[in-house]
Amino acid sequence: MQQPDLRAIIAVLETIAKPTVAAIYGTALGGGLELALGCHFRVADAGARLGLPEVKLGLLPGGGGTVRLPRLIGPLKALRMIVSGTPIDAAEALAAALVDAVFDGDLAARAVRFASGQDGPLAPVRDRNSRLDPADLPDFDRQAAELAKKARGLEAPIACAQSVRNAVTLPFEAALAAERELFVKLVAGDQSRAQRHLFFAEREAAKVGAKDIVRRKIARVGVIGAGTMGGGIAMAFANSGFPVTLLETSREALQRGLAMIDKNYAVSVSRGSLSEAAKQQRLGLFKGSTDYGDLADCDLIVEAVFEEMAVKKEVFGRLDAVARPGAILATNTSYLDVNEIAASTSRPQDVVGMHFFSPANVMKLLEIVRAEKTVPDALATIAELARRIGKVPVVVGVCHGFVGNRMLSARGAESEALLLEGATPQQIDRVFTDFGWPMGPFQMSDLAGLDIGWRNRKARGQTAVIADTLCEQGHFGQKTGRGFYLYENGSRTPAADPEVEALIRDKAADRGIAPRAIGAEEIIERTLYPMINEGAKILEEGIAARASDIDVVWVNGYGFPVGKGGPMFWAGLEGVDKIIGRLGHWHERTGKDIFRVAPLLRQAAETGSWEGKSMA
Ligand code: NAI
């Protein structure tokens, strides 16, 4: 590396005889804050934000941040800031003694005044060789252990905690050297490579349309349907300050939807994450209606009504009659053909899919579905808008389930077979959580409601013997207290259900299947490998533009572990040759299409890349 590097500069700043003052304006993140930490004093503009976000890239602050920050604000606060990677604002920084003064305006002049001692004598500079008080250590270790549990297999948060601990237990120079050692190890590891891959993948995915495309102005948003998704979508917009017109079929349905929104905000207030005033301000942005005419002044209208083509077509026909020319008409459909929906209007060029994920006010992913006739400026407008409401946009093409749900179907295609052959729901889910997923497929089905899949299967003439039987018995998952698991007394913690296990054994016996022990390897081969294979097919068909887009979808919409970089990146780590070999094996044994190796997968094995770019 070219010298002097950041660490050398910071060392000079810190040991220089004259007092140095960092004047912080805007954001001081990562290396920027580490530079400021090397100064003897820090002052900040009132709008400044300060943070060490390296953990989000699978790293630790390697420029002395983990050693200097605890000396300023104490090890416990430093631990929280460094392990979360979340920046704090100037007021918090002042309260924590991370900065010595905050100025509202005129920063440079005020900083000079501060440095000259005119605001009052400068406090003595902390001796960097003074040792931190080890009395905090038991508390520190308790908190670090809790954070480690939440890290779900990620190495960086644990290394961050270790490095802050070193700042307490080791002399200054030794702690810096230890920080360096941990940093070098993280940089070279697969997890950090995966997380850096995702960072750039998200940026790439968000670049939609040429720079000179004129984006449409979106001031007011309409949402049709105030159910689970419509309510969440409306909140996502209101949370970013957009006025929203929410349309329902009846006054009762509208009241129900608005009451749910009110309740969701009330929960945030009771948790302390939202002020009562902010709640009122957001509620003030909603206008409820049962009259399509009220959508005439909306620049974007998002439909979130029942998942039935006939209903969608009727809604879009009515929208076509009232929406102003140039308004963008979007559908939140999960599976339906957006081309067909667009064709029910006289302006298919203005129709797109906006596929939000549940809960829509929380989940970051937005699949933007490009239909055949969607014009580029409509797509570019929605992608830009997505960023404004804090979403991560990915453009996808039209097919059944788009990118995410289509691959989810491939992931779950062998679920029932695995059960019948001898695996239990908890065993399969355990393999997923060990892999780093927040939950396994059966826990997820129970959470989402088994009735959704049941309805879908019936509509498509498909069956799933275990899940169908559970539904026929009225067991829809968490909401009924029973599904693949038992949830007693309103508990959300899944407990093994002996009746489900008996049901599985009975159904297997009916089919003459003798149960056998099924290992973790096999579970991965029959769930995750078909998912990669489907991803390759999606790329071949141009449904996704880049393999990295697929990774962004899976990490942000379905909880694929960030430390593995998304399914397509992980395929590189796992070895595409190995995946092809095992898919072939399972194809031979089962004849199932999900195991038929996609030509692009073979090509990737030969070239070591998905599309000219090298894989993991
Ligand atoms: P829901 O049943 O909770 O809500 C649908 C709402 O639409 C109901 O309140 C209903 O009264 C209203 N509605 C029906 N017809 C209407 C019409 N003609 N005009 C105005 N309002 C009408 O359903 P949910 O779960 O919110 O799903 C809505 C859409 O979102 C579906 O297309 C679904 O596939 C999609 N989706 C659902 C996800 C989920 O996790 N629930 C995730 C992503 C998409």
pLDDT tens per residue, range 591-614: 999 999 999 999 999 999 997 666
Helix (H) or strand (E) holding 287: strand 286-289
- Ligand 1 atom at shortest distance from the alpha carbon of 331: 32
Nearest CA to ligand 1 atom 43: 357
pLDDT higher than threshold 90 for residue 1: no
Distances (CA, A) of 429 to 152, 523, 534, 602: 15, 10, 21, 30
For ligand 1, the distance from its centroid to the CA atom of residue 378, given in whole angstroms, is 23
pLDDT higher than threshold 90 for residue 380: yes
Q: What is the pLDDT of residues 247-293, one digit of tens each?
A: 999 999 999 999 999 999 999 999 999 999 999 999 999 999 999 99
Q: What is the pLDDT of residues 110-155, one digit of tens each?
A: 999 999 999 888 887 777 777 778 888 999 999 999 998 888 899 9
From CA 356, how far away is CA 390, in angstroms rounded?
A: 12
Residue whose C-alpha is closest to residue 247's, from 295, 318, 306? 295
Residue 311: what are its φ and ψ, rounded to 5°? Answer: -70, -45
Give the domain ranges of the chain: 6-188, 221-402, 423-510
Nearest CA to ligand 1 atom 20: 248
Q: What is the pLDDT of residues 51-88, one digit of tens each?
A: 999 999 999 999 999 999 999 999 999 999 999 999 99
Nearest CA to ligand 1 atom 9: 227
Test site for ligand 1: of 334, 336, 357, most ligand atoms within 8 A of the Cβ: 334
Helix (H) or strand (E) holding 92: helix 90-95
pLDDT of residue 285: 98
Nearest CA to ligand 1 atom 39: 358
For ligand 1, the distance from its centroid to the CA atom of residue 382, given in whole angstroms, is 21
For ligand 1, the distance from its centroid to the CA atom of residue 332, given in whole angstroms, is 8
> Which residues are part of the catalytic machinery?
34, 54
Instruction: Work out whether the CA dihedral 498, 499, 504, 505 comes out positive or negative.
Output: positive
For ligand 1, the distance from its centroid to the CA atom of residue 541, given in whole angstroms, is 29
Q: Tell me the average pLDDT across 507-530.
A: 97
Distances (CA, A) of 282 to 21, 285, 592: 40, 5, 50
Q: What is the pLDDT of residues 225-247, one digit of tens each?
A: 999 999 999 999 999 999 999 99
- Ligand 1 atom at shortest distance from the alpha carbon of 230: 26
For ligand 1, the distance from its centroid to the CA atom of residue 111, given in whole angstroms, is 55
From CA 603, how far away is CA 616, in angstroms rounded?
A: 15
Q: Tell me the average pLDDT across 443-465.
A: 91
The structure's pTM equals 0.93
Q: How many Cβ atoms sit within 10 Å of the Cβ of residue 501?
A: 14
Residue whose C-alpha is closest to residue 338's, from 327, 324, 325, 328? 328
Nearest CA to ligand 1 atom 8: 227
Structural domain 423-510, CATH architecture: Orthogonal Bundle (1.10)
pLDDT of residue 154: 95
- Ligand 1 atom at shortest distance from the alpha carbon of 318: 18
pLDDT of residue 248: 98
What's the mean pLDDT when you consider all of the chain? 95
Q: Compute the residue count for the chain.
A: 616
Token code pair at residue 563? 């430390």
pLDDT higher than threshold 70 for residue 445: yes
- Ligand 1 atom at shortest distance from the alpha carbon of 334: 34
Query: For the structural domain made of 221-402, what CATH number should be given?
Result: 3.40.50.720
Helix (H) or strand (E) holding 37: helix 31-38
Calculate what percentage of the chain has a pLDDT beyond 90.
Answer: 91
Token code pair at residue 104? 């509202």
Q: Tell me the average pLDDT across 92-115.
A: 96
For ligand 1, the distance from its centroid to the CA atom of residue 455, given in whole angstroms, is 14
- Ligand 1 atom at shortest distance from the alpha carbon of 333: 32
For ligand 1, the distance from its centroid to the CA atom of residue 305, given in whole angstroms, is 4
Nearest CA to ligand 1 atom 3: 227
Quote the DSSP letter at residue 478: G
- Ligand 1 atom at shortest distance from the alpha carbon of 226: 9
Query: For the structural domain made of 6-188, what CATH number should be given?
Result: 3.90.226.10
Residue 490 pLDDT grade (very low, low, confident, very high; cuts 50, 70, 90): confident
Q: Among 208-212, 565-569, 608-612, which stretch is predicted with the lowest mean pLDDT?
A: 608-612
**Type of residue at 113:** R
pLDDT of residue 131: 77
Test site for ligand 1: of 306, 335, 363, 406, most ligand atoms within 8 A of the Cβ: 306
Q: Where are the alpha helices (DSSP H) in 272-398?
A: 276-283, 309-322, 338-343, 376-388
From CA 51, how far away is CA 20, in angstroms rounded?
A: 20
Q: 3-class DSSP state for residue 22?
A: strand
Token code pair at residue 252? 């009762």
Strand pairing category for 286-289 and 300-303: unpaired
Query: Ligand 1 — pocket residues by CB below 6 A?
Result: 224-230, 247-249, 253, 304-307, 311, 315, 332-334, 356-358
Residue 298: what are its φ and ψ, rounded to 5°? Answer: -90, 145
pLDDT of residue 157: 97
Cβ neighbors of 507 (< 8 A, separation 6 or more) are 420, 465, 466, 469
